Structures are given as C-alpha cells and as structure tokens.
Structure 1
Amino acid sequence: MPLEEHPQKSQQELIDAINQVMPFGKYQGRRLLELPEPYLVWFHKEGFPKNKLGRQLALIYEVKLNGLEGMLKPLLKAKQAK
C-alpha cells in the first residue's frame, strides 16, 4: 500500500530520516537534515545507495529541494551524549 494511506507511518519515516546520523564520509556524525544541499545533489547525480539510508537521503534531498528544511528543523531531536 502507498505511504499516503498510512500517514502515521509516513510521518514517522520522515522524523526518522531527518534524525538519522550519516554513518560515513566527510559528514559522518551529522544528521541527514544537517547535510549541505550540494552533498545531497551529488548523491542525486551519482545515485543514492540502494538501502534504507539511500531512501532517507533521497527524502532529505526532496525536502531541501522544496525548501521545507526550516519547517522540519523543530523535529530534530536533541543529540544524545556519548
């Protein structure tokens, strides 16, 4: 079933994506919503990974492309101390 039929699932997936921490690379340790747009554009051109992280990166790319980043910043969870 499309995610539109499950708005709570879509909302939770969005919250999970914006709070997901980048596990590798130059921006390792940053949450996906905090990644610079040019980095996401590069992924878009090269191809997102074929996994959950890739789907989350693609979602954040769309968020930034559509200027919705500011609206979603309040959903960022406080970083947990290690």
Structure 2
Amino acid sequence: MFDKQDLLDIARTEMPFGKYAGRTLIDLPEPYLLWFRQRGFPPGRLGQLLALTLEIRIEGLEGMIRPLKRGIPGPLRR
C-alpha cells in the first residue's frame, strides 16, 4: 500500500537540480530514474521519493499519480 503523502509529494515536488530541474518527479524520464538507481539516489526525502517514483513507473502506475497534479494549489518546491 502506498502512503497518501508520498503520492502527493511525487505529483507536486519538482526536481531541484540537474538536467530536469523544475519537472515534477512523476514527469521525470524513466531512464533518468534508472540512472539514479545505478549511481545511487540522493540522500534523504528526495532520494526516497525518486526511488518510489521509479517503482511506480516500472509497474505502470503513473496513471494514479497524474490526476493528483490537477486542482492542487501550486507545486511544492525544494
């Protein structure tokens, strides 16, 4: 079972650095997430969310995240 706050954070949180800075985590390309898995996810909450985002993408469940982006007053920025 997924934690509700984790799903909301994946839908709202923007990548704070790198090539895809400014994109929400659920919109990051899967190869980019796989690269992080090979090299190591960043420490802390961001790394946890990136790992969960990858699992959601691998399982084809991003459809349950995308609707969470709508109707939310602004993304969370790190």
TM-score of the superposed pair, with normalisation by structure 1: 0.79
Could you say which residue in structure 2 is the equivalent of 1:25?
Answer: 18
Deviation at 1:50? 1.5
User: Whose RCO is larger (CA < 8 A, sep 6+)?
Assistant: 2
The number of aligned residues is: 73
Structure number with bigger Rg: 1
- What is the alpha-carbon distance in structure 1 between the residues aligned to residue 26 and residue 73 of structure 2? 13
- What is the alpha-carbon distance in structure 2 between the residues aligned to residue 47 and residue 29 of structure 1? 21
Describe the SS at the equivalent of 1:29: coil
The two structures, once aligned, show a CA RMSD in angstroms of 1.8
Residue 36, structure 1, aligned to residue 29, structure 2: yes
Q: Is contact 1:18–1:60 with CA below 8 Å preserved after alignment?
A: no
Structure 1, residues 36-75: CA drift from partner, whole Å, max 9, x if none? Answer: 0000010011110111100000010000010001232111
Mapping of residues 1-82 of structure 1, within 5 Å: 10-77=3-70, 80=74
TM-score of the superposed pair, with normalisation by structure 2: 0.82
- What is the alpha-carbon distance in structure 1 between the residues aligned to residue 8 and residue 14 of structure 2? 12
Percent of residue pairs identical: 49
- What is the alpha-carbon distance in structure 1 between the residues aligned to residue 60 and residue 73 of structure 2? 24
- What is the alpha-carbon distance in structure 1 between the residues aligned to residue 11 and residue 26 of structure 2? 5
